[in-house]
Homo-oligomer: A and B are copies of this chain.
């Protein structure tokens, strides 16, 4: 097999299976090559990935060691995606009144969502996590895409305890957006205790709902190590959770003059 072809095949396989561990032997057997030849190929692939900021190949040693493709996104592309998101959010047609915006078209645009997931994976690359957690419904595609990129199990917290969730733990929390007490439930079988989790959601106002997520996870001694949201509202400045990383910030909705002010989180600062 020609080297060109082999390299194309390696890139295809690795990029199609992000954060998935491969033994060196897997590729050596597949292409009938020696380990030094494979190492040369991988070095070239890494070079290409780094030129475009599209991630890198990580080597792990020891028992169960091997290689895995860690997807990435360049600083420029992060900025482009954040600007795209901010521009789309700023469309005054989104105004529904009462501080609500129509965002389905954005949150169900899976190609945009995938790029947003890549930004979170870049920013949370050194964060320890066993799970990706979200609350139904609109944040599920984003959380799912992030879980895919990170190769972590997804947990979806439900609004109601459904029969097919088996035994659940439920809590009540105060939602500032809806100005009332709401309820959320987690399937006991879906989590193992004493783990770490990254929360991903589409929108945060005061953080009441995400504080609820943190509390329900505490029931299993699961520590929240990072929180990523597509958009956080500027006010209230003081949120109910201690840290979060928004891609964009909803500064103000001026319903009277039909204007929405959205800024991007420059340098992807963690609040």
Contacts from A to B (Cβ < 8 Å): 3-5, 7-9, 11-13, 15-17, 20, 44-45, 47-49, 51-52, 54, 71, 96, 98, 100-105, 108-111, 113-114, 136-138, 140-141, 144-145, 147-148, 151, 153-156, 158, 163-166, 187, 189-190
A104 / chain B contacts, CB cutoff of 8 Å = 155-156, 165, 187, 189-190
* A7 B9 Cβ-Cβ under 8 A: no
Q: Which residue of B lies closest to A146 (CB)?
A: B110
Chain B nearest CB: distance from A189 CB in Å? 6
* B144 A156 Cβ-Cβ under 8 A: no
Contact of A166 among B4, B11, B102 (CB under 8 A): B102
Chain B nearest CB: distance from A109 CB in Å? 7
Given A4-B7, A96-B163, check contact A154 B108 (CB 8 Å): yes
Copies of this chain, tallied across the complex: 2
Chain B nearest CB: distance from A5 CB in Å? 5
Closest 3 CB pairs of A and B: A110-B148, A108-B154, A141-B144
Given A105-B190, A189-B104, check contact A114 B163 (CB 8 Å): no
- Overall SS of chain A's interface: helix
Q: Which residue of B lies closest to A44 (CB)?
A: B4
A-B contact pairs, 11 of them (CB 8 A): A8-B48, A11-B11, A11-B15, A15-B16, A16-B71, A100-B164, A111-B148, A113-B144, A141-B144, A144-B145, A145-B148
Chain B nearest CB: distance from A242 CB in Å? 26
A5 / chain B contacts, CB cutoff of 8 Å = 44, 47-48, 51
Q: Which residue of B lies closest to A100 (CB)?
A: B164
* B12 A15 Cβ-Cβ under 8 A: yes
A5-B44, A12-B52, A141-B141 are known; give 10 further A-B pairs, CB within 8 A. A9-B48, A96-B164, A101-B164, A104-B189, A104-B190, A105-B190, A108-B154, A136-B137, A137-B137, A137-B158
CA distance A101 to B153 in the complex (A): 19
* B148 A16 Cβ-Cβ under 8 A: no
A109 / chain B contacts, CB cutoff of 8 Å = 153-154
Chain B nearest CB: distance from A154 CB in Å? 4
CA distance A110 to B134 in the complex (A): 14
Chain B nearest CB: distance from A202 CB in Å? 10
